[in-house]
Chain A
């Protein structure tokens, strides 16, 4: 059976089920509008550890543990762990995997890692190569800041287009077996291509990612013969306020205007009083909102069909130092809730 739709999209004939999901939020994140959707919130961003990196590792492990327990799956049942983060050589995910002792594939898609891992996990389940897969992604303001920008205590001003790396982690447990009651499954996905609009300023990541996000959305609608109205919710990863406006304009110009059902995790993560300029970013931003809010709202029956799309700005400290432009990518996943009313 051919599960491909067009060059970029796939549909899952043996729909992988999301049986467990959990989101962990940092201090600033849990002071924002997403507070009630987190399964666990940190009282201190160092999380009782010696370094920020260890704290992020503990955070992603917490998200995985919680997702496994609310999905009633034991660690031993997991056939594959898929995940990533922003830190060089996937330090966080590798060390979390060292502790978890599961078959592991580390993934890097910058902030697009959550849907990237979800697509990979779904392919494993659908193809019968795994019965249970765990997908996870994390980011931490303090680890990202020291790697990509300046020391934390360095005094500087951020431009209005800058985004705030979210201290958050999200994890989803995929299974070939349905969950009891209302079931959420992954039905289709669109794998994005790398587009580079030529932005060089690392403070303009929303603008750098927006064309890739628009491209993935348009490709998705074309491949599956759908339109934005076919979804209750369309949520992009971390375009932020600036990138969200650009995406909406790009889509309108292509004749596919985005309506009320569209929003962006970066724009949702914080409120205006938190002074984060263009909004949130980081793998954890979309991972925690998808695994926290979206999954919960689907379980509550508020959302039947959601299109979630994490977006990544594929820059490195080397590329920005050498004056290279910032390529963007976005992967979209369709989640559907069924039964159990």
Chain B
């Protein structure tokens, strides 16, 4: 039938420079077949859910200050603890991932995402044992965030000293 020329020349390139160019061209080509994420709708959902979580947290903080007579800073700490516990509970019940799928960053940014990033590997790696499973993998998701966050704060601190 037909000859070798009929085969598409994608992915066969050996020269690294040409390979890179072709990869880029193919990526662009493939993009036109890929649906785009619904940025506006996703953003709105994140805004509403994230906003509701923050409003709720503020209501609790105000209640702690008005009725429990706590200082603002102390009340804030209690609210943070409450949010973390709530996110852990929801993760354990298997609801947090559904919520995060719907609301995205809206439910990940208010500290709740960090709690989820700690508890989800703890559940996942339980089968590998308490030390080498949970112990080793506990920070597998949150670890990079901690490393980068602490590094950034150290750099910011040094800048502050020499300013």
Q: Which A positions have Cβ atoms within 8 angstroms of B?
A: 50-51, 146, 150-161, 195-199, 204, 207, 210-212, 214-215, 218-219, 221-222, 225, 242, 245-246, 249-250, 253-256, 325, 327-328
Contacts and interface: CB of A to CB of B under 8 A. Distances in A.
Interface residues of B, number: 47
A58 to B, nearest CB: 15
Q: Which of A51, A146, A151, A246 has the most CB of B within 10 A?
A: A151
A56 to B, nearest CB: 13
Interface stretch (B66-74, B75-83, B89-97): B89-97
B78 to A, nearest CB: 24
B33 A249 contact: yes
Interface of B: 1-3, 6-8, 10-12, 19-20, 22-24, 26-27, 29-30, 33-37, 42, 91-92, 94, 96-97, 99-101, 104, 107-108, 113, 116-117, 119-121, 123-125, 127, 140-141
Given A199-B26, A215-B7, A153 B34 contact: no
Contacts of A253: 8
Contacts of B94: 153
B127 A51 contact: yes
A150 B104 contact: no
Contacts of B26: 197-199, 207, 211
A153 B11 contact: no
Nearest to B36: A160
A195 B10 contact: yes
B120 A153 contact: yes
B34 A219 contact: no
B140 to A, nearest CB: 8
B26 to A, nearest CB: 5
A157 to B, nearest CB: 5
A255 B6 contact: yes
B91 A221 contact: no
A199 B101 contact: no
A225 B1 CA distance: 6
A161 B1 CA distance: 36
Contacts of A196: 11
A211 B2 CA distance: 19
A253 B29 CA distance: 13
Contacts of A328: 11
A254 B8 contact: yes
A197 B127 CA distance: 37
Question: Lowest 8 CB-CB distances: which A-B pairs, in order?
Answer: A198-B23, A155-B100, A195-B11, A151-B124, A207-B30, A151-B120, A153-B120, A154-B120
Q: Which of B34, B107, B120 has the most CB of A within 10 A?
A: B34
A277 to B, nearest CB: 8
Nearest to A193: B12
Given A198-B27, A222-B1, A222-B6, A154 B117 contact: yes
Given A157-B101, A242-B34, A198 B120 contact: no
Contacts of B108: 155-156
Given A161-B34, A198-B19, A207-B34, A150 B8 contact: no
